[in-house]
Structure 1
Amino acid sequence: MHTRRPLRTLALVLGTVGLLASGCSGGSSTTGSPSPARAGSASPSAVPEALEPFYAQHLSWRDCGVPGFQCTTMKAPLDYAKPEGDSIKLAVSRKKATGPGKRIGSLLVNPGGPGGSAIGYLQGYAAIGYPAPVRARYDMVAIDPRGVARSEPVECLTGPQMDAYTQVDQTPDDRAEIAKLSGAFETFATGCEKRSGEILPHVSTVETARDMDMLRALLGDERLHYVGASYGTFLGATYAELFPGRVGRLVLDGAMDPSLPSAEMNRDQTAGFETAFTSFAEDCVKKKDCLLGTGSADDAADRLKRLFADLDAKPIPTGDSRRLGESLATTGVIAAMYDETAWPQLREALAGAEKGDGSGLLSLADSYYEREPNGTYTNLMYANAAVNCLDLPPAFTSPEAVTRALPTFEKASPVFGRGFAWAALNCAHWPVPPTGTAHRIKAEGAAPIVVVGTTRDPATPYKWAQSLAGQLSSGTLLTYEGDGHTAYGRGSDCIDTAINTYLLDGTPPKPGTKCT
């Protein structure tokens, strides 16, 4: 597995896409940040003078080649501290409101990551799968964040190099294996610097939030209406912190807690995946096709750990040039924790692995890494690391620090703790110093913001949603009592009705609302 990221993109593509974090973002960049523009105004005169040319640019929309969608690009400063310097082009797409009913404005969407393509999410799911009344009254809009997909993507490794990277043992047993893992993280970071060194210092969440405000103005909206999932909740909360008077209707689904430092965030997420696995195991042992037996969830966990140990000692064939070892197998299992609809696929994959066929778990791992059939990868993992390592100081800076923390991670998850702890070493060799720090976000003066939390969410534990809703001066917590990562559009009529009502008439759910 790579860095665990609270990415909401496999839940929608096992069915469109949700995945995971480590060193997942939670801080805020403050370096060179100009003061927020005057609240509530879309006028170029309301922004710092040096940014006026950017806020005054004209968007030239064109056909995307995808029926119903338009595309354009907008310019933004590469460095907001030096707006007169180089600029970057950011890709934008929209699908205009379909009617009937009066148009409310634009609704920006972000699926998380960091590193998930918002445009891919919009065109593949949101502009089709969001409720018809919402699509009728909003222009559905997405911008790929800087460094992501169509917006000057960060690049780090070749396909074969990434294949090798994903197979490195992330539960090292001796000094040689520790050195190999640390070396793999260093090689990854060096590759990012070599191929994308110019943009690496400028892909922070704060900079992306500023880009979103520029887009809001160019779309002609006085306030930003936004649905962000997973990491997208941190992006939305950061926007609210910078521009509280410009907040419209914000839905933050699968919330992150920006007050947590990296190590604590990784440990919480480790516990979250343990909770999700226990839920899976309790369901699995009731099924005839469950490899993990018919006993308790603890027995199932022990059996899975034995399978991982066997694969660590002797990887198995997959029908591909790659063999399935412990690292890829673990990633495959973790990937299926994002959405309970993937559990039958996971049961089948585990049964296959027990019989010496690793193809099922490899397929799940490949979906997590966004590896294409031709052996290439999207830039998801590269952008993920670039944003995470810039937004917060690293969880660990040395193998010795990981070793000291191992007991707390293994307590949080006997199944995944060891691997999650070592994966959190990934930012130790990053070539760009972090610009953000963990802190509470209040966004005083913002309009009501809806924060959504799922009680057995693996990637963004429920307590993070409770914390963020409590930090925000206008936050309201909406709870989904269930499994999987995020809640909106995943089958709960109660959740969907509450969010749709808020998006359409601005009325947030009553405090304490819980849904199943």
Structure 2
Amino acid sequence: MDPWTQSGDFAAYYENLSKACREVMGEKGAYFNTPQTAADMNSILDAIGQREMYYWGFSYGTTLGQTYAQMFPERVHRVIIDGVSHQAPWYNNELLVPDDVSSTDAVYDGFVKECFKAGDACALAAGHTSAKELHENLTSSLLALYDDPIPVYINASLHGEITFFDVAWDAIFPSLYKPTGWPQLAENLAALLKGNYTAPFLAWALPENVWSDLYEANMVIVNSDRAPRDQLTRKKLTRPEILDVLAKYHNTSKIAGDTEADGLFELESWQYDRTHSFVPAERVETAHPLLILSTTLDPICPLISAQKANKVYVDSVLLEQKSMGHCSVSMPSKCTAKHVRKYFDTGVLPEIGTTCEIDEPYFPGSKTSLKASDMDSDEEELAHALRALAEDPPWSKSSFPRRHRQSKV
């Protein structure tokens, strides 16, 4: 659903959803927040008789990990934050931070360039003479869907349309998180450009493809963390004022600029006051320094957020993985994996300024990869494990862009 032309639907939907949350959860709903979860983590450690925290957090898990490190720095023994969120805006009621998608379009551009470079290994490259031509053709076709959605008729009980939001929000944006899915994305986009709409429609535009059971849980935590101290008496933003805020974000990314519009309407209708008193610190010394991981181009938690965290945590080290995708595990890198293993086993951090390369191309078959015969048995086992992790990363069930449920009803 387009937040600009259908903002009234957004506002009404989330007003009702927030009331339903209040009715179902009651007063307990005010305490589903990240600081409370961080305290619960200590309860788990205490229950098993362990003092030191071992933790590897991805995406939102970096918000939880940073919150824990600030609340209980004396218990930090081995803490990795990977695909780092910017913690200060999270708790300061700054829902939309342009930094969050500052790399999104760069990853989209990278997808196009890698596709063209891959040649026959990328279905979308066929018929294009340059990466620039491919980019212009794909992007213009995508933007045309704003005004002219494509009707798709398969049979009397299976039909609908493919909209800009289906392709940008539900196909391209989540695929930027996980480059191992780029070959399949390219196949569906190639079919779309050729006028073969069935496969793209089935992949992206059916109602069951755009809703996650975890969405409402994420909504509760996000709003509980950043809700104002007094929700009931504060002056809430009007719908035009919400759109004014959204406008500041809109042009940051042609792919993801509007994907968080839901959150603005959610927060304005939220029924609970903030119950925690956590405020992020600007400088934190932990019992053992943190290891911070980031890809060079992360579509939702950009490198700049990891760099900011690196300045907050005394003696922490930032390891940059020279790749695209969300979190280091989005592409296999034995170099990164060995640093992670060494840190957990011995506590030794990489040298400041360390970077790691990835071990596979974005489009398999586009160039020679490291063969199993070139690896010893331990490295081969590690390579297989990393590939499996990249295919199904820890965040894959909860981190995709949110989608207004009414858009497909």
Q: Smaller-chain TM-score range?
A: 0.7 to 0.9
SS state at 1:252 partner: strand
Alpha carbons 1:346, 1:361 under 8 Å: kept: no
Alpha carbons 1:172, 1:181 under 8 Å: kept: no
2:184 alignment counterpart: 345
Stretch of structure 1 that moved more, 290-299 or 397-406 = 290-299
1:433 alignment counterpart: 273
Match of 1:496 among 329, 334, 337: 337
Structure 2 residue ranges without an equivalent (≥5): 229-235, 358-409
Q: Which structure 2 residues correspond to residues 302-381 of structure 1 after superposition, within 5 A?
A: 303-310=138-145, 313-317=148-152, 320=158, 323-330=161-168, 331-354=170-193, 355=195, 357=197, 359-360=199-200, 363=203, 371=208, 379-381=213-215
Amino acid at match of 1:461: P
Query: How far did 1:188 drift?
Result: 3.0
Q: Taking structure 1 as reference, are residues 420 and 210 closer, same or farther at Cα in structure 2, changes over 3 Å only?
A: closer
Alpha carbons 1:324, 1:362 under 8 Å: kept: no
CA deviation vs aligned residue, 1:366-408 (integer Å, no higher than 9, x gap): 8xx9x58xx9x653101111111111248x9443234334554
Query: How far did 1:258 drift?
Result: 0.9
Matched, 1:482 2:347: no
Query: How far did 1:249 drift?
Result: 0.6
CA deviation vs aligned residue, 1:216-257 (integer Å, no higher than 9, x gap): 111221111111111101111111111111111111111112
Query: How far did 1:314 drift?
Result: 3.0
Query: How far did 1:321 drift?
Result: 6.0
Q: Taking structure 1 as reference, are residues 170 and 282 closer, same or farther at Cα in structure 2, changes over 3 Å only?
A: same
Q: Taking structure 1 as reference, are residues 445 and 172 closer, same or farther at Cα in structure 2, changes over 3 Å only?
A: closer
SS state at 1:313 partner: coil
Q: Give the helix-richer structure, 1 or 2.
A: 2
Q: Which structure 2 residues correspond to residues 50-61 of structure 1 after superposition, within 5 A?
A: none
RMSD: 3.1
Q: Taking structure 1 as reference, are residues 301 and 250 closer, same or farther at Cα in structure 2, changes over 3 Å only?
A: farther
CA deviation vs aligned residue, 1:172-218 (integer Å, no higher than 9, x gap): 23xxx221222233233233233334442111000111111100111
Matched, 1:202 2:202: no
2:50 alignment counterpart: 221
Alpha carbons 1:270, 1:409 under 8 Å: kept: no
Matched, 1:280 2:114: no
Determine what percentage of the aligned residue pairs are the same residue.
24
- What is the rounded CA distance, in whole Å, between the counterparts of 1:295 and 1:356 in structure 2? 23
2:303 alignment counterpart: 462
SS state at 1:316 partner: strand
- What is the rounded CA distance, in whole Å, between the counterparts of 1:263 and 1:291 in structure 2? 40
Query: How far did 1:303 drift?
Result: 3.6
Amino acid at match of 1:414: K
Stretch of structure 1 that moved more, 384-393 or 263-272 = 263-272
Alpha carbons 1:216, 1:222 under 8 Å: kept: yes
Q: Taking structure 1 as reference, are residues 397 and 453 closer, same or farther at Cα in structure 2, changes over 3 Å only?
A: farther
Matched, 1:251 2:80: yes
Structure 1 residue ranges without an equivalent (≥5): 1-168
Number of equivalent positions? 338
SS state at 1:499 partner: helix
Matched, 1:190 2:32: no
Matched, 1:270 2:101: yes
- What is the rounded CA distance, in whole Å, between the counterparts of 1:171 and 1:302 in structure 2? 26
CA deviation vs aligned residue, 1:98-118 (integer Å, no higher than 9, x gap): xxxxxxxxxxxxxxxxxxxxx
Alpha carbons 1:206, 1:239 under 8 Å: kept: yes
Stretch of structure 1 that moved more, 438-447 or 230-239 = 438-447
Q: Taking structure 1 as reference, are residues 183 and 295 closer, same or farther at Cα in structure 2, changes over 3 Å only?
A: farther
- What is the rounded CA distance, in whole Å, between the counterparts of 1:350 and 1:440 in structure 2? 45
Query: How far did 1:268 drift?
Result: 1.6
- What is the rounded CA distance, in whole Å, between the counterparts of 1:191 and 1:402 in structure 2? 22
Alpha carbons 2:227, 2:272 under 8 Å: kept: no
Query: How far did 1:342 drift?
Result: 1.1
- What is the rounded CA distance, in whole Å, between the counterparts of 2:256 and 2:330 in structure 1? 29
CA deviation vs aligned residue, 1:400-452 (integer Å, no higher than 9, x gap): 23433455424422343245456544322112233467633533243111111
Query: How far did 1:300 drift?
Result: 2.1
1:74 alignment counterpart: none
- What is the rounded CA distance, in whole Å, between the counterparts of 1:227 and 1:281 in structure 2? 31
Structure 1 length as normaliser, TM-score?
A: 0.59
Q: Taking structure 1 as reference, are residues 362 and 294 closer, same or farther at Cα in structure 2, changes over 3 Å only?
A: farther
2:244 alignment counterpart: 404
Q: Taking structure 1 as reference, are residues 301 and 217 closer, same or farther at Cα in structure 2, changes over 3 Å only?
A: farther
Amino acid at match of 2:25: S
Higher relative contact order (CA 8 A, sep 6+): 2
Q: Taking structure 1 as reference, are residues 199 and 309 closer, same or farther at Cα in structure 2, changes over 3 Å only?
A: farther
Amino acid at match of 1:324: I
Alpha carbons 2:78, 2:347 under 8 Å: kept: yes
